[in-house]
Amino acid sequence: MENIVIGIEGLVGSGKTSICKCLLDKIDNSIIFHMGNLYRGIILALKQKYKTIENMKEHLKGINIRDEIERLNINCKIENRETRVYINNELAPEEDLQSPEISMGVSVVSNIVNNNDAFMVVRKMLQKMQEKYNVIVSGRAILKIYPETQYHFFVVADLKERINRKFIQYKGEVSKEELEKHITKRDELQKDSGFYEKNSKTIVVDVTDCKSAEESAELLLSKININLAQCY
């Protein structure tokens, strides 16, 4: 059976990563491509080089981001069926990649650079992965990067629920008031970047009432027309 690509996008804080991890246990010969972490790795490497988001913004004006990615020596390796981001051959810490500052930096930079340059890098990575695996992709603009994606989901949840999920993720270290500002701002930036666009292939799934990531994953699986008996 030909390997498939399942793209999972969604609103900030809707639980995309957790859903992907649950799907990994349900689909045979599958891996997760954390595309969002690759973008975060680029921002983390740029911040290490230019110290602040503002300096980064100034440098990136008119720059080919694909060339910058090559100079920064950023790549993904598959470990335990998930991609891990390496910068100069050193593993990028997950807590750094998921920090509010780096997350915001991705949204800011996507409004500055020509995203098609970065998309070309990601597309080549994804093509190589599909040759060997069923690929579960968590990221943005998946259909623009890889139109061949067989299933494309856009996960939504109401704002209050998304704030609660981020509050748990950050272990209460960021207040709900700050998280509301952060999520609302990122929503605006993502929308302006075109990352919330959908097309006829997109299946919108509302997970507000799902009590767990497992329940959300089962909801997505119910909309996938493949023989799950061969995937478990």
Domain ranges in the chain are 5-230
- Confidence tier at 31 by pLDDT (50, 70, 90): very high
**What does pTM read for this prediction?**
0.84
Selection from 79, 69, 151, 78 nearest residue 113 by Cα: 69
Phi/psi for 83 (5° steps) reads: -80, 145
Instruction: Flag whether pLDDT at 189 surpasses 60.
Output: yes
Q: What is the pLDDT of residues 192-226, one digit of tens each?
A: 888 888 999 999 999 999 999 999 999 999 998 75
Residue 23 neighbours by CB under 8 Å, 6+ apart: 6, 30, 32, 136, 217, 220, 221
How far apart CA 116 and CA 65 sit, in angstroms, is 9
**Is residue 160 predicted with pLDDT exceeding 90?**
yes
How many helices and strands, by DSSP H and E, does the chain display?
A: 11, 8
- Average pLDDT score over residue span 168-184: 93
Mutual angle of helices 100-109 and 35-50, in 10-degree steps: 90
**Phi-psi bin for 72: left (phi > 0), alpha (psi -120 to 50), beta?**
alpha
Give CA torsion, residues 129, 135, 141, 145, to 10 deg: 30
Residue-wise burial string across 154-186, b where 16 or more C-beta atoms lie within 10 A, e elsewhere: bbebebebbbebbbebbeeeeeeeebbebbeeb
- Which pLDDT score is estimated for 232? 40
pLDDT at residue 230, rounded to an integer: 42
Q: Three-state SS for 195?
A: coil
pLDDT at 188: 92
Q: What is the reported pLDDT for 226?
A: 59
Average pLDDT for the chain? 90
Closest CA to 116 of 64, 60, 153: 64
CA distance 219 to 5: 18
Architecture of domain 5-230: 3-Layer(aba) Sandwich (3.40)
Res. 116 pLDDT band, cuts 50 70 90: confident
